[in-house]
Structure 1
Amino acid sequence: MHLSGTHLGYKERYPNTYEHFNDTPKTKFQHERAYRFINEYDNSVRYNDYIINELLEQLKAQQTSSYMLYFSDHGDDVFDDYDNAGHSEDIGTNGMFEIPYITWVSPQFKEQLKLSVEVAKIENRKYLMDEFIHAFADLSQISFHALDKTKSIYYSTYVEKPRLIKGKIDYDAQKD
C-alpha cells in the first residue's frame, strides 16, 4: 500500500476534522507561507498516523500470524533547513533523506518465525532502503539466489554499511 498522506498538497491529505495544528510553529523562516505549510504538514502527518494505526488495529484484531511494515518513499524538508517545502536530491537535506520505518509482528508470527534478533533491537540500526528486498524476503521467509541476510536488518548477522546519498556522500559523516 502506498499512502499519499504526507506528500505535497498537505492540506488535501486530511479531512477538516483533523486540522489540529494552527499556531505559529518554530522555524527560522519567519513568514506566513512557512507557518501555513508547517501546520498543514503536521496535520497531514497526524492523519497519516491515524490511518496507519487503524490498519494496525485491524490486523491485530485478526489474531493471526502476521506482520506489518510501514515506511515512506521519501522525506520532506518543511522549512527546516531550506526556505521551502518538499524534497529534491539536488538540495538533499536530512529531512528529505530520513524516513519512518515501522515493523510490527504479531506474537504468533514472532513465535513462528523465531527471529534471530529481537525486533526491538533493530531500532537504532543504520539502514538504507536500497537493501529492503533482503529485509522483506527475510521477514517474509522468501528465498532467492541473491538473498544476502547480512543486508537484512532482521537478521543477527546484519552488517551496517556507510549510508551513501547522491551516490558518494556519507550521510552519517555529514549529518548534524
Structure 2
Amino acid sequence: VDDATAYGKGLADQFKKAAQEKEGLHVVLHEATNDKATDFRAILTKIKKLRPDAIFYGGMDATGGLFAWQAKQLQITAKVLAGDGVCTENLANLAKDATDNVICSQAGMALEKMPGGAEFEKKYLKRFETPIQIYAPFTYDAVYIIVEAMKRANSIDPAKILMEMPATNHAGLPVRA
C-alpha cells in the first residue's frame, strides 16, 4: 500500500520490485491511498481476506501510524513493514498499541550503534530539549564536512567548495570512537 506521493509510491514500487526478485515472496496486492487519508478500513478489509504474512506501507507517519492502528483494530496479524517516514517519534502516538506490529527500515546506522551516538544524543537533548530526529547525526556530519571544505576553498562559491569536499577527512558519528 502506498500514499500516492513520490516518496510513498517510490518506496512501495522498490519494495515490490525487490520482493518479486526473491524466491518464495509473492506480492498479492498493491493498493494506493493518499497522504491525507484517515480511514484505511476498505483497503485493510481487502488485505485481510488475502491473509498476507506482511503488509508494506509506503508513506509518512501521519498516515502510516493510523494504517497500522486500524490494521490491528481489524485483527490483522500480518506485520506492517514501513520506511523511515513512518518510523518517527510520532509513531507511538499515531499507531497506539499497534507499534509492536510495525517493522521499520532506516537508512544509515542506528544512533544507538554509532560509537559517538550516545554522547551526541545527550548534547542534542540538552541543546534542543526535544527528541533527536532520525537524520540529525548525518546532517551534523554533513555540515562539518561542508564547513571544512569552505575553509579550505576560502570561498562561499559552491563550485569551489565542491572541489574541496573530497579532501575532507572527517570522522563522523557512525565511526567516531
Instruction: Please indicate, yes or no, whether the TM-score normalized by the shorter chain is above 0.5.
Output: no
Higher strand share: 1
The structure with more helix, counted as a fraction of residues:
2
Normalised to the residue count of structure 1, the TM-score between the two structures is 0.27
Larger Rg: 2
